[in-house]
């Protein structure tokens, strides 16, 4: 299927492609540009162009544009490898959550900084014993007057060292029997608050974006509670939907794929078959993302979209490594300063695709139980 945009969208695509190419020339090409390519400078430029919060209501400073326009811009940036990570989490999920569940004061306080690309956010969900089983989280927030006192530990918190705010998921009351999803709340926690300690974790490709974050008697105003106290699990699930259905989950290593394709022996029938399968997978993944973008997918289907797209990314990583052969074992990248790293580093990052944002196993459970109505396992 050949898809083309109407003229006004084609003009936006050309503008976004040109901007992305220029950003790569100035800030380097990054693998996994939305999580491993961090530049506050570029985020501010995106903010100035109105390319953060593109679809948010204009009354809060958003662009009031269509989801397809946002798709076109983000596809161009991520596909090119432009480092958009400093604003991506807030653009993708923190801002939308605040818009839906936040108070008027919270919208006025936090959205302008996000829209300008001035503030960075991290997501404090996972804990050492609560990843897939998020309802098992133990970080507590206990009311003391007009403050919560937060204690506990988060882990795998991307951008823990650089973020201005943590969007924290925590337990504000003990769960009633058998209802572990109750008693959970969402708090906005400024990362400079006394009592927060951040320790970066070096991942196996050498990156340092994720961290352990410790909270020791951290005092957070009750005014920073987002949504309904003790009933935010549904809010968090909705936030995860934003995290799972986007084009970021398809294109993380697409620039690497183009490099490998240019190098591959496409006269080899085996290689040709593999390229055909990857090209097909890419097109199906893009259609799935477009369906999410246009809100044509059934509720919860982003679990399937993310699974399909991230497993495609892993097949791309395998293909790239095979094309480079022994060179894929070299660790030093062609241009380490740009952040693009080596083929070997890119290959080592690939397992993360089907873990972050919900593992493929768990997303298959969601698909089976919520969409297909199959009986619950276990
Ligand atoms: C690159 C990266 C960035 C991340 N960034 C963040 C972040 O910014 N903020 C944040 O809060 N978290 C972040 N995470 C954490 C991520 O959300 C968790 O790693 C993920 O949810 C899985 O949880 P876990 O690591 O505790 O694994 P576990 O939940 O312990 O799972 C271990 C294994 O068991 C399987 N499994 C577990 N339960 C089931 C089940 N019911 N059925 C079948 N199989 C099951 C899983 O599929 C997996 O293979 C990040 C992770 C990565 C890799």
Residue 364 pLDDT: 96
CB of 358 closer than 6 A to ligand 1? yes
Q: Please write the tens of the pLDDT for every residue from 2-16.
A: 678 999 999 999 999
Q: Please write the tens of the pLDDT for every residue from 72-129.
A: 999 999 999 999 999 999 999 999 999 999 999 999 999 999 999 999 999 999 999 9
Q: Please write the tens of the pLDDT for every residue from 147-157.
A: 999 999 999 99
Residue 87 pLDDT: 98
For residue 336, pLDDT beyond 50: no
Cβ–Cβ < 8 Å for 281, 315 = yes
Residue 378 pLDDT: 66
The best mutation among 215, 359, 370 to test binding of ligand 1, ranked by most ligand atoms within 8 Å of the C-beta, falls on: 359
The residue whose CA has the least distance to atom 7 of ligand 1 is 157
Per-residue pLDDT, averaged over 307-331, amounts to: 94
Average pLDDT of the chain, as a whole number = 94
CA distance 119 to 309: 29
- Residues with a known catalytic role: 243
Return the closest-CA partner of residue 180 out of 239, 112, 230, 126: 230
339 band by pLDDT with thresholds 50, 70 and 90: low
CA distance 356 to 345: 17
Q: What is the pTM of this model?
A: 0.95
CB of 157 closer than 6 A to ligand 1? yes
243 band by pLDDT with thresholds 50, 70 and 90: confident
Tokens of 371: 């969409």
The best mutation among 37, 126, 351, 376 to test binding of ligand 1, ranked by most ligand atoms within 8 Å of the C-beta, falls on: 126
Residue 313 pLDDT: 98
Residue 358 CA, ligand 1 centroid: distance in Å: 6
Highest-pLDDT range among 142-151, 171-180, 235-244: 142-151
Residue 284 CA, ligand 1 centroid: distance in Å: 25
Residue 170 CA, ligand 1 centroid: distance in Å: 17
CA distance 378 to 133: 14
Residue 334 pLDDT: 52
Instruction: Give the number of the atom of ligand 1 that is nearest the alpha carbon of residue 89.
Output: 8
């Amino acid at each position: 299927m050949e898809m083309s945009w109407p003229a006004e969208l084609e003009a936006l695509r050309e503008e976004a492609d040109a901007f992305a190419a220029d950003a790569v020339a100035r800030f380097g090409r990054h693998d996994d540009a939305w999580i491993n390519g961090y530049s506050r400078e570029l985020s501010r430029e995106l903010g100035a162009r109105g390319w953060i919060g593109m679809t948010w209501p204009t009354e809060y400073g958003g662009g009031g544009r269509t989801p397809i326009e946002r798709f076109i811009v983000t596809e161009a940036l991520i596909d090119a490898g432009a480092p958009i990570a400093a604003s991506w989490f807030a653009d993708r999920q923190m801002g939308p959550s605040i818009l839906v569940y936040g108070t008027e004061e919270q919208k006025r306080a936090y959205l302008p900084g996000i829209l300008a690309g001035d503030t960075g956010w991290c997501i404090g969900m996972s804990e050492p014993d609560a990843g897939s089983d998020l309802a098992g989280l133990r970080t507590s927030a206990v009311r003391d007057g007009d403050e919560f006192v937060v204690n506990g530990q988060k882990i795998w918190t991307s951008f823990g060292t650089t973020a201005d705010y943590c969007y924290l998921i925590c337990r504000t009351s003990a769960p009633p029997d058998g209802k572990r999803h109750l008693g959970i709340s969402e708090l906005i926690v400024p990362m400079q608050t006394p009592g927060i300690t951040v320790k970066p974790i070096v991942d196996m490709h050498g990156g340092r974006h994720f961290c352990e974050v410790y909270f020791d008697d951290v005092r957070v105003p009750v005014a920073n509670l987002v949504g309904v106290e003790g009933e935010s699990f549904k809010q968090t699930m909705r936030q995860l939907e934003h995290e799972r259905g986007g084009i970021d989950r398809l294109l993380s290593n697409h620039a690497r794929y183009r490099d490998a394709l240019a190098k591959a022996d496409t006269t080899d029938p085996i290689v040709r078959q593999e390229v055909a399968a990857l090209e097909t997978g890419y097109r199906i993944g893009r259609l799935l993302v477009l369906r999410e973008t246009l809100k044509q997918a059934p509720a919860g289907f982003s679990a399937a979209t993310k699974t399909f797209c991230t497993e495609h990314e892993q097949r791309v990583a395998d293909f790239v490594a095979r094309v480079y052969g022994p060179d894929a074992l070299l660790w030093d990248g062609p241009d380490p300063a740009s952040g693009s790293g080596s083929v070997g580093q890119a290959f080592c990052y690939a397992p993360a695709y089907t873990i972050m944002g919900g593992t493929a196993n768990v997303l298959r459970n969601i698909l089976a139980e919520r969409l297909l109505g199959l009986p619950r396992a276990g």
